[in-house]
Amino acid sequence: MRDILRFEPLYQERVWGGRALETALGRKLPDAKGPIGESWEIVDRPEAQSVVRDGPLKGETLRDVIQQSCADIMGPKWDVAKPFPILVKWLDCRERLSLQVHPPAEVAGELKGEPKTENWYIAHTAADARLIVGLKKGVTRQQFEKAIADNTLENCVHSFRVAAGDSILVHSGQIHAIDAGNLILEIQQNSDTTYRVYDWGRVGLDGKPRQMHVEQSLKSIDWDDFEPAPVRGAPTSGVIADCREFRIRRVVLGQGERYTVASGEQPRLLSVVSGTVRAGTDNGSASRAPFGQVLERGENVLLPYAGSFAFVAESTAILLVTENFA
């Protein structure tokens, strides 16, 4: 299997969501009773499976594809029983998300959860929208616990403004929340463990207060994590996130410029966060694309280990390339 793999999105209702995936990315969202907060773009979990959108493997799940063509997709050293290690989501945050934390690896087992390090890329944002990541300098666990009781937690956490093109790596153990008005591409470890410590007095879609996980949160928070800085948007290519779990490179292409991927190196994910590119095999020409593929803003695809590819920008385009996860 040496073709680009595109998948059907899995839309999730969330109390804090909206319809920006429709208005900003041109998606056709399903009719739903509640707001759509997340689109799971690439996922390999027992409760959620990406399904191939087109091509010879149309209708196959990501798990089936890996089991059938493991060496081609992931490389000859990949354990076929191991889940795909990255989960890619679009987040439409019309309202502020809960203040939450994901457990670091050293406590996740004790709490029967999964660690989750994630990167947020800001694709669009409302004026004065913010992110919350980390503690304010000097805040202690004792002060934090008192603020929970006093409903003053906002005074303990680090908040900063963001603009389109900014990004930040959020490690397991970092307290965080996304403010209202952000459209974000989240690239994360394959995990779905979230501990909410505070929800701003909000109720869920059922009209009841959402479940909190205060004890688990207090065990998970990194109490030495103060005021991390985002990576600000720039019109140049470069690494925007590099951690044990993955690396993300921003690739900026002018009209007609090419980005190529050689076969036999590693599997990669490619996300189009701005502009449009044409996809072809890396044979010196991108005039012919497999399945006539044009990748538009918002698309996320898997580039198999065995494939070689070329992407040519139809206008100025920004790609995120996720690698070093295998």
Looking at the fold, whether 266 and 137 belong to one and the same domain comes out as no
Residue 31 lies in a domain: yes
Task: Choose, from 14, 196, 250, 278, the residue flagged as catalytic.
Answer: 196
Q: What pLDDT is recorded for position 288?
A: 45
* Structural domain ending residue among the three candidates 166, 192, 220: 220
Asked if residue 228 is part of any domain, the answer here is no
Asked, for residue 143, whether it belongs to a domain, the answer is yes
The predicted model scores a pTM of: 0.94
Shared-domain flag, residues 168 and 279 = no
Does residue 14 form part of some domain?
yes
93 plus 209 within the same structural domain: yes
Let me know whether 34 and 119 are in one domain.
yes
The confidence score (pLDDT) of residue 34 equals 80
- 47 lies in the same domain as 193: yes
Q: What is the pLDDT of residue 143?
A: 98
3-state SS of the chain is: CCCCEEECCEEEEEEEEECHHHHCCCCCCCCCCCCEEEEEEECEECCEECEECCCCCCCCEHHHHHHHCHHHHHCCCCCCCCCCCEEEEEEEECCCCCEEECCCHHHHCCCCCCCCCEEEEEEEECCCCEEEEEECCCCCHHHHHHHHHHCCHHHHEEEEECCCCCEEEECCCCCEEECCCEEEEEEEECCCCCEEEECCCCECCCCCECCCCHHHHHHHCCCCCECCCCECCCCCCEEEEECCCCEEEEEEECCCCEEEECCCCCCEEEEEEECCEEEEECCCCCCCCHHHCEECCCCEEEECCCCCEEEEECCCEEEEEEECCC
- Known catalytic residue at 196: yes
Task: Determine the structural domain holding residue 9 and report its residue range.
Answer: 5-220
Is 199 a domain residue? yes
Amino acid 282: pLDDT: 61
Clarify whether residues 297 and 160 are in a common domain.
no
Residue 187 shares a structural domain with residue 245? no
Give pLDDT < 70 ranges for the chain.
1, 32-33, 282-292
Residues 91 and 145 occupy one common structural domain: yes
Q: In this structure, are 196 and 145 located in the same domain? A: yes
Domain count, the chain: 2
Q: CB within 8 A of 149, min separation 6: which ones? A: none
Same-domain check for residues 245 and 103: no
CATH of the domain at 134: 2.60.120.10
Question: What's the pLDDT at 285?
Answer: 47
Looking at residue 283, its pLDDT comes to: 55
Same domain, 154 and 261: no
Q: Does 264 fall in a domain?
A: yes
- Indicate if 255 and 305 belong to the same structural domain: yes
pLDDT for the residue 239: 98
